[in-house]
Amino acid sequence: MPIRLTPLEPWIAAKIGAAGERLSRDALEAHQLRRLQETIDWACRRSAHYRALLAPAGSPPTLAALSELRRLPFTTPDDLRERGAQLLCVSQDEIARVVTLSSSGTTGRPKRLHFTEGEQEAILEFFQHGMSTLVAPGDRTLILLPGETSGSVGALLAAALGRMGVTPIPHGFVRDLPAAVEVMRREAPTSLVGLPVPTLALLRHAEEVAGVSLRLKSALMTTDHVPESIVRELARGFGCQVFQHYGMTETGLGGAVDCEAHDGYHPREAELFFEIVDPGTGEPVPDGVRGEVVVTTLTRRGMPLIRYRTGDLSRLLAGPCRCGSALRRLERIRGRRTDLAVPCGEGERGVTLPELDEVLFQVPGLADFTAQVSAASRPARLAVTALSARPDHGRLARPVKDALDRLSRLSRARLACALAIDVATGALGERLAHGPAKRTIGLIGGDA
């Protein structure tokens, strides 16, 4: 069966004035350069932060090519926390929504992102066209994202689906597995949108505890790193294609979504410009080389972001997509620049959370896990708590230990290191009840 062209392409072609034509890289990049220069000029005129950063002598920088963007300094998460009001380019009465992102620390200032009404509409449009990759009129989509507040991601997604003739089924984060399974049985969705780990927990609870087979036409995983092991399990359990979306509040919620080729996300290129830079030097790297994702907004006027360092690790893939689109492809996110790794020897790259994800989510019955590494143990000591939706969670200990031993042997072969491992098990319910937890490898001060 032929792979369908991503629906993002005709939408983006229309946005750059090429409706009815096949999108070309030349036309798209000319649009991006124009919009980039407009954004720089606007930000330097209207934002105290960008005026001081980019135009201290009074004249905004002029770019003759997209490659010259590398001359400009970065915008960082700390800029948003410490100087957020100075990044604003419009008055407060033009702002329709403010999103506050709390710091992971106890005293850190939150980041606040401001959006105009027109920018909220742009998000809704992207959701509408991005979702048409996997749903069609008459479908019913379960939304496992927060949507109680007007302008929230779930509310915008529900509105976008309604425009498409798709019935939205708002639910919110999965906090109660039996209740979520009952909603799926009662509402009979044909698709769902959710976070990868809670969705896996939902599937495994349905199969292993409730004894229910849940079948879908499609599923979209979003807002978090998506392990391939989870994609494979969801595709098996739901019997459907599993799509992936990349985005964050800073990108205007929507950023990029994959197509039926499932070989990289297609970015929202008429409104966002992506770079990949070396995390250490900040210099752009060639296509195919992994680094940190840097994004510049091209159409935002409320709070534009110029060369914003996301902290996410990925690469721009070389060559055309098998769907035939001229849009670029961003490889699925491979973790965060600041992710802690389990140390495996001086000067060597350690075992990372994505590597743990890939081996552990293959274990039948495992729905989530927590991991901590000792800062003092030699060899490094990794403590993992495997979480199950089943009451007999103790049965996970042996297969999880076996999976970690295999990873440890691989690490020794690759890095000449040793890894001491402790495994405990627990029930998933309490962790889910508090909403999605930040997934990371924790650091403990002494021996595990």
* Residues 326 and 404 reside in one and the same domain: no
* Residues 109 and 242 reside in one and the same domain: yes
CA atoms lying within 13 Å on the CB side of residue 169? 19
* Residues 305 and 383 reside in one and the same domain: no
**Six token digits for residue 399:** 């297969």
Helices (H) and strands (E) in the chain, counts: 12, 16
* Residues 411 and 298 reside in one and the same domain: no
Position 161 in a domain:
no
Q: Are 154 and 170 in contact (CB under 8 A)?
A: yes
Position 82 in a domain:
yes
Q: What pLDDT does 419 receive?
A: 66
Distance in angstroms (rounded) separating the CA atoms of residues 133 and 4: 9
Q: What pLDDT does 60 receive?
A: 94
Distance in angstroms (rounded) separating the CA atoms of residues 448 and 371: 11
Determine the straight-line distance between the first and last CA of the chain, rounded to whole angstroms: 52
Distance in angstroms (rounded) separating the CA atoms of residues 142 and 171: 7
Per residue in 315-339, pLDDT (tens digit) is 999 999 999 999 999 999 888 887 6
Q: What pLDDT does 105 receive?
A: 45
* Residues 289 and 424 reside in one and the same domain: no
Q: What pLDDT does 337 receive?
A: 80
CATH code for position 427? 3.30.70.1350
Position 125 in a domain:
yes
Position 60 in a domain:
yes
* Range among 36-50, 212-226, 393-407 rated most confident: 36-50
Q: What pLDDT does 422 receive?
A: 85
Distance in angstroms (rounded) separating the CA atoms of residues 328 and 12: 12
Q: Are 272 and 251 in contact (CB under 8 A)?
A: yes
Q: What pLDDT does 136 receive?
A: 97
CA nearest neighbour of 127 among 265, 303, 8, 31: 8
CATH code for position 123? 3.40.50.12780
Q: What pLDDT does 447 receive?
A: 44
Residues in the chain, overall count = 448
Q: What pLDDT does 97 receive?
A: 94
* Residues 331 and 357 reside in one and the same domain: no
Position 8 in a domain:
yes
Q: What pLDDT does 372 receive?
A: 86
How far is residue 311 CA from its own chain's centroid? 11
Token pair 């490898």 is at which residue?
441
Higher pLDDT, 412 or 315: 315
- How far is CA 93 from each of CA 122, 253, 282, rounded to the nearest angstrom? 19, 22, 36
Amino acid letter for position 20: G
Residue 379: domain span: 353-444
Q: What pLDDT does 8 receive?
A: 97
Distance in angstroms (rounded) separating the CA atoms of residues 241 and 223: 18
* Residues 229 and 315 reside in one and the same domain: yes
Q: Flag whether pLDDT at 343 surpasses 70.
A: no
Position 206 in a domain:
no
* Residues 412 and 295 reside in one and the same domain: no
Q: Flag whether pLDDT at 436 surpasses 90.
A: no
Q: What pLDDT does 389 receive?
A: 84
What phi-psi label fits residue 141: left (phi over 0), alpha (psi between -120 and 50 degrees) or beta?
beta
Q: Flag whether pLDDT at 417 surpasses 60.
A: no
* Residues 8 and 101 reside in one and the same domain: yes
Q: What pLDDT does 106 receive?
A: 41
Q: What pLDDT does 448 receive?
A: 39
Q: What pLDDT does 431 receive?
A: 77
Q: What pLDDT does 418 receive?
A: 61
* Residues 308 and 411 reside in one and the same domain: no
* Residues 390 and 312 reside in one and the same domain: no
What's the whole-number mean pLDDT along residues 362-377? 85
Which of 337, 366, 396 is the last residue before a domain boundary? 337
Residues 6+ apart with CB under 8 A from 96: 115, 116, 117, 119, 120, 151
Residues 6+ apart with CB under 8 A from 315: 276, 285, 287, 288, 289, 290, 291, 330, 331
Distance in angstroms (rounded) separating the CA atoms of residues 37 and 152: 30
Q: Which residues pair with 265 in a beta bridge?
A: 258, 330
Q: What pLDDT does 439 receive?
A: 77
**Six token digits for residue 353:** 């959370």
Specify the 3-state DSSP secondary structure of 245: strand
pLDDT interval class at 383 (50, 70, 90): confident
Which of 337, 365, 393 is the last residue before a domain boundary? 337
pLDDT interval class at 406 (50, 70, 90): confident
Position 152 in a domain:
no
Domain count, the chain: 2
Which helix H or strand E contains 296, and what residues bound it?
strand 291-297
Sheet holding 272-277, edge to edge: 272-277, 291-297, 308-314
Position 183 in a domain:
no
What's the whole-number mean pLDDT along residues 269-289? 96
- How far is CA 104 from each of CA 225, 251, 372, 378, rounded to the nearest angstrom? 17, 20, 17, 28
Per residue in 106-159, pLDDT (tens digit) is 446 899 999 999 999 999 999 999 999 999 999 999 999 998 888 889 999 999
* Residues 91 and 117 reside in one and the same domain: yes
Interstrand relation of 256-258 and 265-267 (parallel, antiparallel or unpaired): antiparallel
Which of 306, 337, 368 is the last residue before a domain boundary? 337
**Six token digits for residue 268:** 């929202």
pLDDT interval class at 342 (50, 70, 90): low
